Amino acid sequence: MSDRVYKKVELVGTSKASIEDAIQNALTTADQTLDHLDWFEVSEIRGHISDGRVAHYQVVMKVGFRLDR
């Protein structure tokens, strides 16, 4: 296996449906402009409350991608 170099970016994904959808929304959008996405780590989960119920999920995450040499 050759040595690799990665870069990390922080993203915030949102969804009205679920935490999983918020993660997927961020990754799907990032995949449109970044190449070689390899991993992610969730650092924060939060949401908006309306009428005593979850109205919106927010997931702060770091995404790693390989840099071309």
pLDDT for the residue numbered 4: 85
39-64 tens-digit pLDDT: 999 999 999 999 999 999 999 999 99
**What is the per-residue pLDDT for 1?**
52
Q: What is the CATH number of domain 6-66?
A: 3.30.1660.10
Give the other-Cβ count within 10 Å of 31's Cβ: 12
pLDDT tens readout for residues 3-42: 889 999 999 999 999 999 999 999 999 999 999 999 999 9
In the chain, domain spans? 6-66
Give the total residue count for the chain.
69
Tell me how far apart the alpha carbons of residues 32 and 69 are, in angstroms, rounded to a whole number: 20
Residue 69: pLDDT band with limits 50, 70, 90: low
Backbone angles phi, psi at 28, to 5 degrees: -65, -45
CB contact at 8 A, 42 and 60 = yes
